[in-house]
Amino acid sequence: MSLKNDISEVVLSEEDIDRIVTDLGETIKKDYEGKTPILVGLLKGSVLFMGDLIKKIDTHLEIDFMDVSSYVGTKSTGEVQILKDLSGSVDGRHILIVEDIIETGTTLNSIINLIKSRNAASIEIVTLLDKPVNRKLHVDVKYIGTEIPDGFVVGYGLDFDEKYRNLPYIGLLKPELYS
């Protein structure tokens, strides 16, 4: 059985994603020229996006990862747990948090506050997807790939119970599969 049978609609094709990632990479390159930012990928969802994004940023950069969780199934618990922290110091460094999707803002607010407390020189966010309909906390996001409407999306790193991350596009999961 093919995974595409579980998708009701393709929200972003592979071509759409490539165009968005290329545009974001070019903008970030200009903004960070002469600096060496640390791109912090939020595991696990951002892995595919970050992997493609760093190839589009033609300037020096470093990468690190954090694994944080505030979800159980399809619902945010509102409580953020750090499962894997950064490997090194961010003191005086320019940090670019790489996120696959921003929904409630809860997770990002916690991470931003944590990194601020560690004296980063600057903190910005890049996200592939912005879903403001579910926002609980305001988050300043400098780099937004695209805004999407409400609906449970999977693919290109986004999952439902750890499945569907490997789809090369982003699609709406059929509601009967997660309801």
What CATH number should be reported for the domain holding residue 109?
A: 3.40.50.2020
What are the φ and ψ backbone dihedral angles of 132, each rounded to 5 degrees?
-70, -15
169 part of a folded domain? no
Cis upstream peptide for 44 (omega within 30°): yes
Residue 74, pLDDT > 60, answer no
158 part of a folded domain? no
Closest CA to 96 of 26, 41, 29, 160: 41
pLDDT-derived band at 107, boundaries 50, 70, 90: confident
Phi-psi region of 9 (alpha: psi -120 to 50; beta: other; left: phi over 0): beta
DSSP state string for 113-131: HHHHHTT-SEEEEEEEEE-
168 part of a folded domain? no
pLDDT-derived band at 68, boundaries 50, 70, 90: confident
79 is catalytic: no
Per-residue pLDDT tens digits for 112-128: 999 999 999 999 999 99
- Overall number of domains in the chain: 1
81 part of a folded domain? yes
Domain holding 25, by residue range, is 14-151
68 part of a folded domain? yes
Helix pair 14-32, 47-55: axis angle to 10 deg: 60
Residue 139, pLDDT > 60, answer yes
Of 9, 33, 99, 103, which residue is the catalytic one?
A: 103
| Burial category of 28 from C-beta neighbours within 10 Å (exposed 0-12, middle 13-18, buried 19 and up) | buried
Contact between 123 and 130 under an 8 Å Cβ cutoff? The reply is: no
5 part of a folded domain? no
170 part of a folded domain? no
CA-CA distance, 146 to 121, in Å (whole number)? Answer: 27
Provide, rounded to the nearest whole percent, the portion of the chain with pLDDT above 70: 95
Task: Indicate the pTM of the whole model.
Answer: 0.93
66 part of a folded domain? yes
